Every structure is written in structure tokens, then in C-alpha cells.
Amino acid sequence: MSDVREFDTRPAGHPSAESPLAWSFHRQAPPREAGAGVTLREHAFLGHLVLRGGAIVLDEAVREVLGIALPARPNTLALDDGGERSVQWLAPDEWLVIVPAGEEFTLESRLRQALGQAHFSIVNVSGGQTLIELSGPQAREVLMKSTTYDVHPQAFPVGKGVTVVFAKASVVLRRPREDAWELVVRRSFADYCYRWLLDAAGEYGVSVAR
Amino acid sequence: MFHIYCPYCEEHREEEEFHPKGQAHIARPAEPEACSDEEWGDYLFFRDNPRGIHHELWVHAIGCRKFFNITRHTASYEILETYKMGEQPTITAESLAREEKAGHVQVAEGGQQTVGASDAALASVKGAQG
Amino acid sequence: MSQSPSQPNRLAQGGQVDRSRTLNFTFNGKRYSGHAGDTLASALLANGVDIVNRSFKYSRPRGIVAAGAEEPNAVVQLGASEAAQVPNVRATQQALYDGLTARSTNGWPNVQRDLMGMVGKVSGAFMPPGFYYKTFMAPASLWMTYEKYIRKGAGLGNSPTEADPDHYDHMNRHCDVLVVGAGPAGLAAALTAARSGSRVILCDEQEAMGGSLLDSREPIDGAPAVQWVERTLEALGAMDNVTLLPRTTANGYHDHNFVTLHERRTEHLGDTAPTRDGRRQVRSRLHRVRARQVVLATGTHERPLVYANNDVPGNLVAGAVSTYIRRYGVVPGNRLVLSTSNDHAYRAALDWHEAGREVVAIVDARANPDGELVERARALGIRVITDSAVIEAKGANRVSAARVAKIDAQLFTLAGRVEELACDTIASSGGYSPVIHLSSHTGTRPLWRDDILGFVPGTLKGMTSAGGAQGIYALPAVIADGIDAGSQAVQANGQSAEPFEAPLVAPIREGESVALYQIPHEKPTLRAPKQFVDLQNDVSAAGIEVATREGFESIEHVKRYTVMGFGTDQGKLGNINGMAIVARCLRRTIPEVGTTVFRPNYTPVTFGAIVGRHCRELFDPERYTALHQWHVEQGAEFEDVGQWKRPWYFPRTVNGKKESMHEAVARECLAVRERVGILDASTLGKIDIQGPDAREFLGRVYTNKWAKLAPGRVRYGLMCKDDGMLMDDGTTSCLGENHFLMTTTTGGAAGVLEWLELWHQTEWPELDVYFNSVTDHWATMTVTGPDARKLLAEITDIDLDREAFKFMDWREGTVAGVPARVFRISFTGELSFEINVQANYAMHVWKTLFEHGEKYQLTPYGTETMHVLRAEKGLIIVGQDTDGSVTPEDLGMQWAIGYDKPFAWIGKRALSRSDTRRTDRKQFVGLKPKDPKVVLEEGAQIVFDPKQAIPMVMSGHVTSSYYSPSLGQGFALAVVKGGHERMGDTVYLPMVDGTVHEAEIVSPVFIDPKGERQNV
């Protein structure tokens, strides 16, 4: 839709950037344990867009611009072949798009072009959230300690994604691959979620990959 | 803790993901200026408090952020159905009463202070209290 | 059989304890030893310890009565160190470990010689229910004195005073079938459900799974029952879809099949959790289970008989005797008298006899008992006395004899002479009560069954009960019922069940039981020696009888008056007996009397498990801005605003001395008014609004007008509820014709977004507009003060000229090379620029501002200074100056109300209600204390006439109050009745200490009333 002010919030030069977990890593050296049951890794500075609108309208544009079919079923996640770009159902009229760093503004512009005068909204939230990957043999136990959502493979197969309560915060929890979970965490809650994960994983041993 | 079926997410979720927002189907008067003070006060402040079937507005706050309605029994806490905004309930106190009359179902009872006691004994206790 | 000298009651063989592993422990300061596999209770009995506690009210000596969760007496305090203290542990449920240290919960100075016993004696032989109220409440002033000693004497356990070194947590689980109890019914149900492919959780509160099979006499498939238990557990353990949780009590059954399980993971290993691979293990875990189906296989509690002095140590329930002998190899005495109403309890006498000790007699209330077990007892030469019961136990610290007589249960009298049998142990059984605690947590009505003389669970969607819990007691039937319950649960989930073939168990022919609760005595109940119903709460049959005489008829009232079934006991042993006594006194039947409901928790749960890891630094989320590290490094003091940590003030150290808050705030305020300051305002809520109807929507949710706000402009808005009361405020900027950025208060962010969605989704879905939170995406820095323009100009490409970039404009460009939106709005009254950049680049921009700001003495300020500066300008803070009962008109903000907007915006109609039109509403004003040194107290009440009588008429209160460094005096904001018409009036603020402050009502704008400073 026209009459929306597009704004690329990523600087042209290279001023230093700080991820939402910068303070957490600075305050205490991230643990690295041999034989850890759980491994955490932050994927910082990715492009995050929230798409809202009708599924039929958005689907066409997203296919055209991103080459991914808009997941229409609730709580599902679609990825491109390389697994770098993803579109996730958040609500009947809301999707989360995550793309490699720096792609988000061009993507937003191209989507706006493709969508023309339809009623929709695209909001860039790249600075407001970060992605934490959780892997290791005890990753599922740590999730069971943290969210009431059923993370059993029967209930949470690869390709699923949900917005859930996580400890006393909320996160988007998703399973892009067999061997990893992803938490999309709001910036201001990132340190809390990170400290919670370290504490909950303590009995299994935990490493932070950087 | 309730287990609530979100009609938009199409699955059951834990109560902690939801916020209750009071009685459902309270429509804002189309012309507020045409309401008397009393009518406006009714709209603002007065709500039903039934022992039995109640239709409630909830929001899946940590989830899809959609508002929807719940038909709930206020004594047994059973959730009989959930339905989307703009839809009407298929189960109401009236529909259950009709079915009960026709002998199909028994309206759930519960919440009695003294459980297991016969009705006669209860009546005598209540009489003593009265 | 021979016995170990150090454990006089330990058999040489038998039971499931490991005699090769000796464990040492301490009880009440004395050292003992037991074996691996013991509970603390079985080890105490093995050592011949009779007295384990003093009773709660009468301080009578008490011994171990039962072998499981229903134990009322052996409640101990655990822990060798202060930090490891755990109160309220049942010795019957605590596994023995080496070094275990326990002491009695009650009994001061010690259980053997007890001072509190004197209270019982001094106050007479009879302490009626309500005794404490009646005796100690007058005079009320002395109650505190009495209470201190009574509490010390009675004791309720001690909480540790040092920090708990252990970890606790929660685990959320989901399953198709949750089976509670791993006895014969539970094992059969779990195996059936598991074989059908269901996700199954099987939990059991005991150290080992198997329930009654662990001490069963009956072979299964021709071998000891424990072998079938082992085989079944092995099969279950091998299945991926099964979770076995031993040492796990289902303690609460909540709505919609939500069950909480308390798993004691390391409580059997030591005082504190051991480490594994150097990592500390979780001591206790609360499993929060959402089950599609729940199978309650919780078994039964045996009911003891209620006879005189039935609390003397050496009185046990019959089944416990069997458990101690068969499972732990411990015989808790030498000479047994068994008093029973049923065949099942004969097992205790048979086990006792086989252990090589003397069974003095079996006293059976029935006229002609003739079941298989009765015949076996007779064949062994055991004396069986029929038509009779034990009417009284003799002995002080241990049973010395049983008084036995023929009874007429119907007439409640003795029917023959009394015979005294010398013995040291009396086992009794009045039958079995299904454990219905969990089902009644849900509010379902238990159902009385005359055939089993007990209540069984009512019906509830998603719940079945099996075996003993369902009133089925014969082993073959129990197993069959378990298979059936497992199948039913699977089928209720829409799957097909795969039951297994029940193992072979030879049925035992049992005779009919009789109803038997309180036993008659030669003396009437009120004069007979005490006949205890609830041992934990010291409730006797006489107490219940008195309650009914005093007019209490409802069982709920009797419970509260006598405290029967209260607290941690939850009526496990005594409830049915108590109801039977009420029924006898009121000449009713038990089902007419009814039962009280049970509440969670079934047995006590340690606070650690309830809290989980939601404690210490993880108690509540702490939200940080992108600049948090800088604030910490500058030594900021922080204030909690919602869950955010915001810098409160930045104390400097001057000449080695750290500034006080007052000094720091004064310095920060003057820096802003005279030069330039900077605030981290990132916590403000920010909502991106897009859509062709965005403008119309804003007009409906804000009180003021939005139709003409052009791109590039910003407007302040007030948001009301439909009752006309202010709920939030903030600025909204027009980014594009169909694109707006709304800001909200820090605390209101989530609520305002939900509010917008509520109206959009429920009332105005036809409006094309979307709302999304961008609070975390943007970091916001407020540069404010006379030098703000000069500073910002050094690092931005935006034209800051006062004509090009006016007050209430916004512009975009770069700041320190980072794309930024800059808003020229002011919350301080000074020239201000709010810089918004993507949060990942905030630190770079902030630090660049400080590099350039040094020459302007750029001063960081916190929320306290922000509050003072805005208050000097009369700018409100929603939630501080308002409280949900304040309209925009009360605030004097008619300029922000669009009375003539075409749509009846939210709150408009309410502003013309008679109540909101009252002229004596509390209205927002400024207060200038007559004494400039005075800073009024926030919340202080305002009166018009200080000489009036107390209680005075309160006419308003102070909402904000500070010292103003710019004014050089204290000032305040307040709401005062009719305040807008009272400018210049003097009001009074009486304080608690008797002083009365005087203040003048003035305009709330104390500085720069024309607003020139922000427009420069």
C-alpha cells in the first residue's frame, strides 16, 4: 500500500553494531563445557520482517519475491532450499519473515511493489529481536523446563513454529531442522532468556558457540 | 489451569497464553450520544454473573493475539466450545435446557460445598443456616 | 528367627532391604543404624524406637501408626545443617541414607519428657474443641504470650534460615494417559495403554514401584508378586512412549486434566543433591502434566478402629504391620493383638506369626468369620475371639495390654465382660477407604457405596479410577480392572486398545466385612479415655460428639470446629471414622452426613519445587535497553519500571564522595535547564500503525483530532476508556498518509496494543489498519537543553533550523552515520530532540553523542530527574498523577478533547454523564508549600479546614512532589476537589506526626508557562 514511509534502518557505512546478547556475553564469559548436553548459538543481525494481510494476497507476492509459499496452516514454518530464509505463520493475518542480514529492506521494497494497492502492512523489526539456536541431546529437556507447549516430536515436528510463553517471557519457538530448535527472542528479554537457558541447562552441561 | 482451544491456532493451549476480557457479546451502542445515562451505565458497568453457562471474551495474548469467545460452565469450569469473533455460540443455557428437557443430556452440577451429602441432609443444613 | 542386636526388631531374613549395606543415621540426637532399602520409619521400628513425636494439642507420646503417606505421627524435621532443613517430612516416606539427621517436629524440650504434657494435665482431663479460643482469647492481650509458648511447644517444623544450596525446577509434560499409582491396577493400566502406543506417564510416590504387591502374600503366575512387578516395569521401561516417575507424588489434580507431580529426585541420596560430572543435580522437580486421560490407581487407606487410648505407641493399622514385616524385614513388637472387622487384615496376624513372634489373639467383630484366611489362622492355633473388639489400650509410652470385650455395634454398647490381654502391639482394621483425594480436588462429588463402606471417585471427563481406588480389593479383580481402565483410557482418546492377558492369581475366598468405626466403651464417649479419630490434629470422638451437641451439623462445620482432617493430614486416616461418629450422634447415615472435600496438596510439597527456578535473579524478567551496559559502567542506580531496569540517576563521585540522590538529581536537573542532558527513553512503547483507515482509527481511540495531522508532524494524544477515564498518553507521529508511529507509556505498551486490537477485532473490523509493536526495534535517546541543537548539529545531516524543523515536527536522516528518525518533542520543557535509531546501532550513536557532547558538558540523567523536569512543566505521568478515576477535563486538558469529532470516540459519551459533570470532582492543580523548604509527601491527604474534628473530610491528595533546583523550593502536583476554581486558595496537609503543612493552590506549570524554551 502506498503512503507508507519506508525507511532503511541499516547504516550504509560500518558503525559498530551490538547484538541483543552483547551485554550478556560481556558480563560473564559464555560457558564452554566439554560434553555439554546443550549448545546455544546466537544468530544476530538477521533481517526480521512482520507481514500482515490476507493470506491469498500475500502468498502471491511472497512466492514471487522470495520464492517461498506462504505457510497457510497455523503454526507452520516454511524455509527456502538453503534454509537461510524463512516464513512463519504467526496468526491468520500475520507472518514472520527472517532473511540474511541486509536483505530485509530490499525485500520490503520489492514486496510493497508486488502488493501494490492491496491492504497489508510490513514492519521491520530487525533491531528488536534476535535468534538463538538450541541444539544438543538435552535441548528438548531444557525446552520442557521452559515452556508449557508440547515439544515431543509427535507434537512438534520439523517445520512447526509457535508463539509461546517461555519462562516468564514469550518467544517464537520453531524447529527448522531435525537437530536444532530456534528461539526468536525480543531484544529487551534476550538477557533474561539467555540466563534462564544457561540455568536450566546447567545439570546437562552447556556451551555457547560464538 | 484451563486448557483452551484457540479457534485461530486450531489447537489447545495453556491458560497462561490467554487473557480473559469479561462477558462476551457486549456490543457498544451504535449511537452513544442517544443513550441515557442509565443505558450508558448499563453498557459500561453491568455484567451477568450466572451459575452455569457463560459466554466470555478471551484473547490469545501470547500466541496469535486474536480475540475469540469461550462458552464455559462457571461451576464445573468445563469449556463447552470456543468460537471466533463474529460467530454465535451453538451451545447456550437455553439450548442445554431444551436438550435436558428432551432427555438428551444432564446439565453438569458441581461446586456444592458439601459433596457426597444427600439432598435431604443438605436441605436440613441449609435450613439450619437460614 | 534370630535378630540383629543393634536392630532388635530386624528379622534375619526377608523383606527387600539390603542387609549387607548398613546406613547410619541420627534421630533426636541419638545414633542408630539401618539398611539400604529402609525408610526412616522402618529403621526406627527396627531399632525399637517407640516414641517419634508429641501430639499437637495434648502433647501425648506418639509412635508410628502407618507405613505410607497416611502416617499422622511420624512427621519429622530433616537436615544436618541449617541450610538443609526440611520440615514436615513423613518418616514413612523418607528413604534412609547414610548420615540422615532427623528430629521430631513436635516436642519441647524433648519427646521423652515433655513440658507441654503439663498443659494437658493442668487444664484438666478434658480439653474440648475450641479450647484455645475459649481459654486463651481472654484477655486478648495475653494471647501473644500464650501463643509464643504453645507454638514453641506444639511445633510446626522450622523453615531454614540459611539459603538453600539446592536447585529445583519445573518440567512441563504432556501425555495421552497419566497413571497415578504403580500398584497392581496402575501397572496393568499403564502396560495396557503403553502397548496401545499411547504416550504414558506412570508415577508412584514410593521409593519402589509395585504398591501393595511389594508386601503381598499372593503369588502371581506362581511366583512371588514382586517378580511380576519387576517384569512389568522392565517392559514399560523399554518402551519409548513411557515415562516412569518413581518417588513422585501426584499432589494436585486441577482443571482440564492438569496434574502436578512432585518428584523427589535426590531426597533419598542425602541432605543436599549430589553432583554428577561436577554438575549439581536437581533436588526436587515439579512436573506439570497435561494429560488427555488420567487413570487414578491410588489404592486405599486402611481405616484404624477408634478405641480408647488408641494413640499409645504400639497401636498400628494392620496393613502397616504386614508392610514392615514383609517389605522391610521389621517386626514392630513381640506380642500382637489384632482387632478387625474384615478378613483382609488377618494377613497381619499371619505375617506376625510367620516372623516367629506371638499372636496373642485376633479379635473379630463378626459373629462367624469363616473366610480362607480365618481358617488359616485357626489352623495355626491362633486364638480368634468373635463378636468382639479391642475397646481400650493400656500403657503409657508403649502398649502393655489390650482390653477386649464383646460389643453390640448397632446399640453402641458392650455385650459382655472385659478381658485384658497382655501385649505390646495392637493392630486394627476397620476396612479400607479408596484414596479419592485427587478426584475430589477437581470438585467432583465422591459417591458412597454401601457394599464397600466407602466413598469412590465421582465421574469426570477424562478421568477413570481403577483397583482399590474404585473399591475393588481382590487381587485378580484389581489387575483385571487395571487392564480395563487402561483400555478405556486409550479408547477415550480414539485409539484402539491392546490389552494383555492378565497373569494368573489364585482367588482368596473372603467373608463379608462389617461396618465398624468407633468402638463402644464401658463409659460414655465423653468420659471414656480419649478415642482418637485424627491423630495429627488430636481430634477425639468426644470432641466430635461435643461439636454435634453444640449444634454443628454440617460436616464442613464440624471439620472447622474440631480441625479434623486439617492441614497436611487431609483426613487420610480419620475422615470416614469422623463422619461415622457425626452420623451416629445425629442419627443419620454416612452418605447423609457427606464428606468434606480434600484440597491440594495431597502431601506437603517443598517450596523449592513450587518455585522452581523462578527465584533469585530469575524471579522476574529484567528487561534491558540497548544502552544498559553503558549505564552500568557509569555507575547508574536503577529503578524498576514495569519489568524494565531504567537508570534512576547517575551519581558522581566528587572528591572521593559519592553524590546522594538529591545531589545527583539537582545537578542533572540544572544541566538540562542550563546546558544539555541526555536520557535513554528506549523503554517507551512504540506501535507501528499502517493502513488506509489508520487515521480514522486514531480519531476513535484518542480524545483529540487526527484528521489533519500531516506527514512530518507529531501530536500528543490522550487515550480514555469508555468510562471517560484516562488510561494512557503519548505522542503519535504521522510517518506517511497511511502510516503512523504511536508511543505509549513504558508500563502501558503491551496493554495499549491489546486495547487497539480489541477495538479493531471486536467493534470495527471493517477498518483497514494493522498494529505492530516496534518497541524493541528502536532505541530512543532524548537530547534536551539549550545546547541540544548545537550538539546534535555536529553529527547529523538533518537541517535543525528552528523554522525548517519546528516544535512537534519529525525528520529523518542520519545521526552519527546511522539512519535515524528525530522527533522534536519535549517532556522537559526545554529544546529537545528524540533520536530513534535501530537498537543494534544505539550504542554507537550514544557514544558518538558523548564524544561531541563533552564540550557542552553533556549530562546523562535518569528517571528521577525526568520526573522533576516534567513536573515543573505540569506534565502528567499516567498512573502517578492519574489513577483510573481521572478524566481529561479533571486534568484541565480540554484543549486535547475533540468534542466535535464526527465519531463518538472512546470515552466521549462518559464525559457528559452526571458524575463526570460534577463540579466538585478532584481536579489537577499545582501546590506551592508555604514553607519553601518543605517537600510534601506524595499521597498526603489535603483538607480545606485543618481545625475540623477527626475523621476529617479529605478533599484531595498529592500525586507528585519534588524539590525543584530551578525554583529553589519544593513543589507538588495534586488533585483537589473543585481545584480549578480554587486557584490561590490555601489548603492544609495534616501529617502523621501532628504537623500540618500549608500550601497554595497554583497552576501546575511552574516553569516557563508560555512554553518559550522548547520553541527556541
pLDDT at B107 over 70: no
Task: Please list every residue in chain A whose beta carbon sits closer than 8 Å to the beta carbon of residue B9.
Answer: 74-75, 162
Binary contact (C776, A127; C-beta < 8 A): yes
Residues C743, C775: contact at Cβ < 8 Å?
A: no
**CB nearest A165 (choices: B10, B17, B64):** B17
- pLDDT score of C1: 40
CA distance C991 to C1001: 18
Q: Do B63 and A92 touch (CB under 8 A)?
A: no
- Check CB contact under 8 Å for B110 and C448: no
* Beta partners for residue C969, in sequence order: C964
pLDDT tens-digit profile of A71-121?
A: 999 999 999 999 999 999 999 999 999 999 999 999 999 999 999 999 999
Chain A touched by B108 (CB under 8 Å): no
Q: How many other C-beta atoms can be found within 10 angstroms of the C-beta atom of residue C277?
A: 12
Put simply, the answer to whether B66 touches A92 (Cβ < 8 Å) is: yes
Assess if residue C790 is contained within a domain.
no
Bridge partners of residue A111, in order along the sequence: none
Domain-embedded: residue C833: no
Q: What is the pLDDT of residue B125?
A: 36
This prediction has a pTM of: 0.94
Chain A, nearest residue to C289 by Cα: A148
* Residues C348, C450 share a domain: no
Handedness of CA B88, B90, B96, B97 (dihedral sign): positive
Of chain A, the end-to-end C-alpha distance in Å amounts to 40
Residues of C in contact with B35 (CB under 8 A): 909
Tell me the shortest Cα–Cα distance from C95 to chain A, in angstroms.
Answer: 23
Contacts of A among chains (3+ CB pairs under 8 A)? B, C
Residue C341 and residue C381 in one domain: yes
| Yes or no, beta carbons of C776 and A16 under 8 Å apart | no
CATH number, domain of A121, equals: 3.30.1360.120
Residue C3, pLDDT score: 45
Asked if residues C478 and C467 have their Cβ atoms less than 8 Å apart, the reply is yes
Provide the pairing of β-strand C425-429 with C315-317.
Answer: parallel
- The answer to whether A196 contacts chain C (CB < 8 Å) is yes
CA distance C224 to C329: 16
Q: Say if residues C868 and C962 touch (Cβ distance below 8 Å).
A: yes
CB contacts of B66 in chain A (<8 Å) are: 91-92
Q: Name the grid cell of C713.
A: 508532524
Using the beta-carbon criterion (under 8 Å), do A144 and C172 form an inter-chain contact?
yes
Q: Which chain C residues in 172-191 lie under 8 Å from chain A, judged by CB atoms? A: 172-174
C587/B contact by beta carbon, under 8 A:
no
DSSP A22-49: HHHHHHSPPP--TT-SEEEEEE-S-EEE
Q: In this predicted structure, what is the pLDDT of residue C58?
A: 86
Q: Are residues C587 and C544 in the same domain?
A: yes
CA dihedral C179, C180, C186, C187 (to 10 degrees): 70
Domain carrying residue B125: 3-129
Residue C604: asked if its preceding bond is cis (omega within 30°), the reply is no
Cα–Cα distance between A140 and C414 in angstroms, integer? Answer: 66
C-beta atoms of B16 and A148 within 8 A:
yes
> Residue C754 and residue B61: Cβ atoms within 8 Å?
yes
**CA C877/CA C773 separation, integer angstroms:** 21
H or E element in which residue C697 lies: helix C694-701
Q: Which domain holds residue A87?
A: 34-209
Evaluate whether residue C864 is within a structural domain: no
Asked whether residue A6 is domain-assigned, the answer is no
Determine the Cα–Cα distance for residues C430 and C920; give it in Å rounded to an integer: 72
Long-range CB pairs of A198-203 (<8 Å, 24+ gap) are A198/A31, A198/A40, A199/C613, A199/C618, A200/A142, A200/A145, A200/A146, A200/C169, A200/C613, A201/A36, A201/A37, A201/A38, A201/A40, A201/A138, A201/A142, A202/C167, A202/C279, A202/C280, A203/C167, A203/C276, A203/C279, A203/C280, A203/C281, A203/C282
Q: Please indicate whether, in this complex, the C-beta atoms of A127 and C779 are within 8 angstroms of each other.
A: yes
> How far apart, in whole angstroms, are the C-alpha atoms of residue C341 and residue C302?
11
What pLDDT, on a 0 to 100 scale, did the predictor assign at position C672? 98
Interface test with C, best of A1, A50, A171, A185 (most C CBs within 10 A): A1
Q: Mark residue C443 as left, alpha or beta (left: phi above 0; alpha: psi -120 to 50; beta: remaining).
A: left
Min Cα–Cα distance to chain C from B119, Å: 8
Give how far the C-alpha of residue C466 lies from the chain's centroid of Cα atoms, to the nearest Å: 29
CA angle at B97 for the pair B91 and B100, rounded to the nearest 5°: 105
Contact yes or no for A52 and C775 at CB 8 A: no
Residue of A nearest to C838 (CA): A127
Which residue in C247, C236, C319 sits closest to C282, CA to CA? Answer: C247
Give the CATH number, domain containing residue C575: 1.10.10.1100
Task: Give the separation between CA C682 and CA C646, rounded to whole angstroms.
Answer: 9
C380/C453 same-domain check: no
The verdict on C105 and C188 lying in the same domain is no
Contact A125 C814 (CB under 8 A): no
Distance CA C188, CA C168 (A): 32
Inter-chain residue contact B65 with C597, CB threshold 8 Å: no
Chains touching C (at least 3 CB pairs under 8 A) are A, B
**Phi and psi dihedrals of C386, rounded to 5?**
-95, 170
Could you tell me if A172 lies within 8 Å of chain B, comparing CB atoms?
no
The answer to whether C507 faces chain A, any CB pair under 8 Å, is no
- Rg (C-alpha) for chain A, rounded Å, is 18
Alpha-carbon gap: A183 to the closest alpha carbon of chain C (Å) = 16
C440, C295: one domain = yes
**Residue spans of alpha helices (H) in C176-293:** 184-195, 225-237
Residues of C in contact with A22 (CB under 8 A): 629, 843
Last residue of a domain, one of C603, C632, C666: C603
Chain B: closest CA distance from residue C444 (Å): 7
C713 touches A at CB < 8 Å: no
Q: What are A105's three cell numbers? A: 529492506
Which of C256, C443, C554 lies at the smallest CB-CB distance from B2? Answer: C256
Q: Which secondary structure element, helix H or strand E, spans residue C604, and what is its range?
A: none
C447 and C405 fall within a common domain: no
Neighboring chain B residues of A91 at a CB cutoff of 8 Å: 8, 63-66
Min Cα distance B78 → chain A (Å) is 20
Q: Is residue C271 part of a domain?
A: yes
Nearest residue on chain C to B115, judged by CA atoms?
C445
Q: What is the CATH number for B101?
A: 3.30.2270.10
> So what's the pLDDT on residue C110?
59
**Smallest CA–CA separation between B121 and chain C, in Å?**
5
Q: Are residues C296 and C445 in the same domain?
A: yes
SS3 at position C167: strand
| Residue C680 near residue C669, CB atoms below 8 Å | no
The cell numbers describing C299, all together, are 489404592
Helix (H) or strand (E) segment spanning residue A146: helix A139-146
The CA distance from A8 to A51, in Å, is 16
Local confidence band at B130 (pLDDT 50, 70, 90 cut-offs): very low
Q: What is the pLDDT of residues C748-787, one digit of tens each?
A: 999 999 999 999 999 999 999 999 999 999 999 999 999 9
Residue C838 falls within a domain, yes or no? no
ipTM over 0.90: yes
One-letter amino acid of B70: I
Residues of chain C in contact with residue B64, where contact means CB-CB under 8 angstroms, are: none
Contact C290 B14 (CB under 8 A): yes
Chain A residues near residue C738 by CB distance under 8 angstroms = 1-4
Closest residue in chain A to residue C282, using alpha carbons only: A203
Neighbour-count burial for B54-88, b at 16+ CB within 10 Å, e otherwise: bbbbbbbbbbbbbbbbbbbbbbbbbbbebbeeeee
d(CA C820, nearest CA chain A) in Å:
7
Pairing of strands C358-364, C335-340: parallel
Contact B64 A90 (CB under 8 A): yes
| C395 within domain boundaries | yes
Only one residue has cell 462458552, namely: B71
Domain closes at, from C154, C179, C195: C154
CA A145 to CA C755: how far, in whole Å? Answer: 31
Instruction: Say whether both C382 and C289 belong to one domain.
Output: no
Query: CA of B97 to nearest chain C CA: how many angstroms apart?
Result: 20
Q: What is the pLDDT of residue B104?
A: 61
Pick the last residue of a domain from C559, C588, C603.
Answer: C603
Q: A164 touching B, CB under 8 A? A: yes
Cβ contact, residue pair B11, A75, below 8 Å = yes
Count of CB pairs separated by less than 8 Å, A with B: 36
Give B101's pLDDT tier (boundaries 50, 70, 90).
Answer: confident
Q: Is residue A78 part of a domain?
A: yes
Handedness of CA C246, C247, C253, C254 (dihedral sign): negative
Chain B: residue nearest A93 by CA? B64
Does C737 sit within 8 Å of A121, measured CB to CB?
A: no
Over residues A136-144, the mean pLDDT reads 98
Q: How far apart are CA C18 and CA C12, in angstroms?
A: 11
CB B84 within 8 A of CB B127: no
CATH number at residue C195: 3.50.50.60
How far, in Å, CA of C224 to CA of C222, rounded? 7
- Residue C151 pLDDT: 52
- Tell me the pLDDT tens digit for each residue of A57-75: 999 999 999 999 999 999 9
**Chain B residue nearest residue A168, CA to CA:** B16
Nearest to C556 among B59, B86, B114 (CB): B114
CATH of the domain at C963: 2.40.30.110
Task: State the pLDDT at residue B102.
Answer: 82
**C-alpha cell belonging to residue C165:** 544450596
Residues in C touching A53 (Cβ below 8 Å): 770
Residue C550 domain boundaries: 523-603
Is residue C799 included in any domain, yes or no? Answer: no
Q: Span A178-182, mean pLDDT?
A: 97
- Kindly give the parts of chain C with pLDDT less than 70: 1-5, 107-155
**Angle (nearest 5°) at CA C252 between C250 and C255:** 125
Residue A140, chain C, CB below 8 Å: the answer is no
C-alpha–C-alpha distance, residues B25 and A140, integer Å: 41
3-state secondary structure of C121: helix
Quick one: pLDDT at residue C219? 96
* The total number of structural domains that make up chain A: 1
Mean pLDDT of B10-19: 97
Q: How many domains does chain C have?
A: 5
